[in-house]
Copies of this chain bind each other. A is one copy, B any other.
């Protein structure tokens, strides 16, 4: 019961990872439907969220909040710029840095986006408290996975 066999590991591993993958895609799917009328994808919505909160941010900061690198963010932000929701300007102080700012249109979109969370919440069919616990559990899981992933080679190739 509490002493799982190797078989158990095999099965549960598959199930948990698969469930997580499936849940993530299911969420994406619900978001896709809801965000369609805002003209945003889910990752674009996440970027807009941090911009709505902070007004303007360098690309670097957005990447830290969303855990995304420039390879993902650069084209994403370019699409948001094409859509007229943000502007991107080289920082005068440090010309390596690009500051992303909301346009009036981008700021205005927030009003329409305020309805999104409740619709998502309703789609989950789960109580507020349970959702909060799930959140805590997932964050712990991510932290554990992150710390396990990094030290792949402790201090290898040292000669």
CB < 8 Å: which of B10, B12, B148 contacts A30? B148
Answer yes or no: A141 CB below 8 A from chain B CBs. Answer: yes
> Count the A residues whose beta carbon is within 8 Å of the partner chain — how many?
61
Q: How far is the CA of A124 from the CA of B23 in the complex (A)?
A: 17
Q: Which residues of B contact A16 (CB under 8 A)?
A: 124, 131-132, 134-135, 138
Q: Taking the full assembly, how many copies of this chain does it contain?
A: 2
Cross-chain pairs A/B with CB under 8 angstroms, 29 sampled: A2-B128, A4-B128, A9-B117, A10-B114, A12-B132, A13-B118, A14-B46, A14-B117, A16-B131, A17-B31, A20-B23, A21-B24, A22-B67, A23-B142, A26-B142, A26-B146, A27-B145, A30-B148, A33-B149, A33-B152, A123-B144, A123-B145, A123-B148, A124-B141, A124-B148, A125-B141, A125-B148, A126-B144, A134-B141
